[in-house]
């Protein structure tokens, strides 16, 4: 290892997190009650696309509880660490906060989540171009510095909101992607005889076409998908 590389790694370790039950100095963090404890492996940190999405996620905590769920809002797009200099990474507050909140250590090889404050990381962004870019940058950060974490089942997951809901009497189906909905329609006479509701859902504004109560209920309806590894070009 070159001296420059050694020095760079030593500098990167300065922002390492530790497994502790309480952390301070991260103002917008809504920390899970069990984060950093012996139950930390059961906790999920929700990374949201800004403060508005954080508000939606926090409202959902009243449903699922605060013991095993924490929320932290990202400010804009994350730094592309593959193209950034060490100095840029060290000065990036968002990355430092994620390391501290999760309890991540530089150059650490992880075979389990036992040493982390949270056992799972959930991405909650809009299903548009910007949201996809943010997801890619988060995956890029993990793949570059902590590829071993991506090999742990269900460590990285995604919050998916409903797009369409159909019902006939008491029989109800909720769809999270349009292909999934179109496939159902094809197998069910193009949906004839079924009532439907399209949700204009975003993580920043909730369900815009439904009652306000529906916005909060999307937290209880969410589907967690394991994200495939997608490297940044």
State the catalytic residue, choosing from 49, 94, 143, 158. 49
Instruction: Give the number of other CB atoms < 10 A from CB of residue 228.
Output: 8
Is residue 9 part of the annotated active site? The answer reads: no
State the catalytic residue, choosing from 9, 114, 130, 195. 130
Is residue 195 part of the annotated active site? The answer reads: no
Is residue 126 part of the annotated active site? The answer reads: yes
State the catalytic residue, choosing from 30, 31, 126, 143. 126
* Catalytically active residues, by annotation: 49, 126, 128, 130
């Amino acid at each position: 290892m070159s001296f420059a590389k050694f020095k760079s790694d030593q500098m990167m370790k300065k922002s390492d997190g530790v497994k502790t039950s309480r952390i301070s100095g991260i103002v917008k963090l809504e920390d899970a009650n069990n984060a950093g404890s012996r139950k930390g492996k059961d906790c999920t940190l929700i990374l949201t696309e800004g403060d508005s999405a954080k508000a939606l996620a926090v409202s959902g905590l009243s449903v699922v509880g605060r013991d095993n769920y924490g929320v932290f809002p990202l400010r804009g797009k994350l730094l592309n660490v593959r193209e950034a200099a060490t100095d840029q990474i060290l000065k990036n507050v968002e990355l430092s906060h994620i390391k501290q909140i999760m309890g991540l250590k530089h150059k650490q090889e992880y075979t389990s989540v036992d040493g982390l404050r949270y056992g799972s990381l959930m991405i909650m962004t809009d299903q548009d171009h910007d949201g996809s870019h943010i997801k890619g940058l988060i995956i890029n950060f993990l793949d570059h510095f902590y590829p071993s974490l991506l090999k742990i089942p269900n460590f990285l997951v995604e919050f998916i909101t409903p797009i369409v809901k159909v019902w006939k009497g008491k029989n109800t189906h909720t769809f999270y992607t349009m292909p999934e909905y179109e496939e159902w329609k094809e197998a069910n006479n193009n949906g004839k005889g079924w009532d439907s509701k399209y949700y204009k859902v975003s993580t920043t504004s909730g369900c815009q076409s439904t009652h306000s109560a529906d916005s909060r209920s999307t937290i209880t309806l969410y589907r967690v998908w394991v994200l495939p590894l997608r490297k940044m070009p």
